[in-house]
Amino acid sequence: MTPIKTPKKLIEVALPLDAINVAAAREKSIRHGHPSTLHLWWARRPLAAARAVIFAQMVNDPGYERHLGRGVNKEKAAAERERLFKIIEDLVLWENTNNEEVLERARAEIWKSWRETCALNKHHPQASELFDPETLPGFHDPFAGGGALPLEAQRLGLESYASDLNPVAVTINKAMIEIPPKFAGRAPVFGSAGVSPAKNWFSRGYLPHLDHPGLIQFITFRLADAIPHDVLKRLIEEEADDLERSRSLEKLLDHGYGECQLADPANAEIVQSALLHFNEQRYRLLAWVIMPNHVHVLIETLKGHGLSEIVHSWKSFTAKEINRRLGRTGEFWQREYFDRYIRDERHLNATVHYIEQNPVKAGLVRRAEEWRYLGVYWYRESAGETPALPGLEDWSGARGLAEDVRRYGAWMRDQAPSWATA
């Protein structure tokens, strides 16, 4: 039997563990676009660590190997490892999850190492079958669990295959790995994406959010210093369950950490004026509350204006105005924001109640109506003047917001099978 020549891999020699650990720990507090928002798998692996490990397993170490006649001397190998470490350090950052420039650098190194391995084995009897320099090896994970490894292998350019004995894990991996590539590049189910800046089903990462005119959206954005870094780090390290961590983060917000710039009435007025400014033009403002260090808003989006555009306009304008007023510079809002579209009447009522009672729950007032920067039900009766989703031409307008929600919720449920087969 002809032996296979296998160069030593980078993971067998060294890794920038500090950078990987920091990125993996930070990931625990991230919600948008993360698999944990699809399902809270009990043994979820950090995407950053999975990405780094797969890269380091695929890339050859630059060190000299006499028996293979490859590699460079110690000094050059050390410098080359530093270059590869820099790629890993960039690769594990959450902001670079879909950064094509960073991903392409990583994929290029994987291809380079694979072609070197193919060249070393070009005389192997099964070289044409096993060592095709134009085809990367596939990634197979028979016990994929939450899918972190096959997902990141796919991101790095490998063809991934994932399975598990647990049917929940199988469903997760189908949703993340098997089904999305089949629809990549296809037109949105609601028509051409060029018609409106609304994104329909979209992803800040790879998990879906729904942004379409007529939907009712619940949005939360917070000040940059609303949660202290050391407190957040401790919470991430101590709280393993995602649901409990989310609840803990909500409690932290209500504790009023940071400078609480929105407790200043003048600053809160700036934010409230911004929310009201484009009401009935870009969106219908249904409910809101301005807390000392964060803001909750419930809106119905209107045709021609995407959710990200709306939130950006709020944050950009208010940050500039408040910073100018305070004579300061720098980040005012945290870059990320939370959004969720209202699914049914029960969800709507729970969300409105949460907004209304937030000042009471935080211990700022005894009754909700005592809080100055709170607006609830102001536009309840005006909601429903436009169809919630395209295709509801027979819908002449609801009696109120709850009826509107019921209507488009039922419509979405009925239409889902046709979208899947479109």
What is the pTM (predicted TM-score) of this model? Answer: 0.50
φ/ψ of 333, rounded to 5, equals -100, 150
Report the mean per-residue pLDDT for the chain. Answer: 81
Which pLDDT band holds residue 414 (cuts at 50, 70, 90)? low
Which pLDDT band holds residue 209 (cuts at 50, 70, 90)? very low
> Residues 297-353: pLDDT tens digits?
999 888 888 888 899 999 999 999 999 999 998 889 987 787 887 877 788 888 888
Residue 375 pLDDT > 70, yes or no? yes
Helix/strand/coil (H/E/C) assignment for every residue in the chain: CCCCCCCCEHHHCCCCHHHHHHHHHHHCCCCCCCHHHCCCCCCCCCHHHHHHHHHHHHCECCECECCCCECECHHHHHHHHHHHHHHHHHHCCHHHCCCHHHHHHHHHHHHHHHHHHHHHCCCCCCHHHHCCCCCCCCEEECCCCCCHHHHHHHHCCCCEEECCCCHHHHHHHHHHHHCHHHHCCCCCCCCCCCCCCCCEEECCCCCCEEECCCCEEEEEEEECCCCCHHHHHHHHHHCCCHHHHHHHHHHHHHCCCCCCHHHCHHHHHHHHHHHHHCECCCEEEEEEEECCCEEEEEEEECCCCCHHHHHHHHHHHHHHHHHHHHCCCCCCECCCCEEEECCCHHHHHHHHHHHHHHHHHCCCCCCHHHCCCEEECCCCCCCCCCCCCCCCCCCCCCCCHHHHHHHHHHHHHHHHHHHHHC
What distance in Å separates the CA atoms of residue 412 and residue 248, rounded to the nearest whole number? 33
Helix/strand/coil (H/E/C) assignment for every residue in 331-344: CCECCCCEEEECCC
Tokens of 366: 């005894």
Residue 382 pLDDT > 80, yes or no? no
Q: Of 23-27, 82-86, 245-249, 401-405, which gets the smallest average pLDDT?
A: 401-405
Write the CB contacts of 297 (distance below 8 Å, at least 6 apart in sequence). 218, 219, 220, 275, 285, 287, 288
Tokens of 336: 């990320």
How many residues in the chain? 422
Residue 153 pLDDT > 90, yes or no? yes
Say which residue, 248 or 134, is predicted with more confidence: 134
CA atoms lying within 13 Å on the CB side of residue 360 = 10
Q: Are strands 283-290 and 200-202 parallel, antiparallel or unpaired?
A: unpaired
**pLDDT at position 237:** 64
Amino acid at 381: E
Residue 270's beta-bridge partner residues?
A: none
**pLDDT at position 304:** 80
**pLDDT at position 251:** 76
C-alpha of 279 from chain center: 28
Contact 145, 45 (CB under 8 A): yes
Which pLDDT band holds residue 246 (cuts at 50, 70, 90)? low
What distance in Å separates the CA atoms of residue 345 and residue 342, rounded to the nearest whole number? 8
CATH architecture of 200-223+259-376: 2-Layer Sandwich (3.30)
| DSSP label at residue 179 | S
Q: Of 3-12, 115-124, 201-210, which gets the smallest average pLDDT?
A: 201-210
Say if residue 220 is exposed, middle or buried (CB neighbours under 10 Å; 0-12, 13-18, 19+).
middle
**pLDDT at position 307:** 85
- Domain definitions of the chain by residue range: 10-182, 200-223+259-376
Q: Sign (positive/negative) of CA torsion 263, 266, 269, 271?
A: negative
Q: Of 43-47, 239-243, 261-265, which gets the smallest average pLDDT?
A: 239-243
Amino acid at 334: Q
Residue 12 pLDDT > 70, yes or no? yes
C-alpha of 261 from chain center: 27
Neighbours of 342 (CB within 10 A): 25
Tokens of 331: 């980040």
Greatest CA separation found in the chain? 83
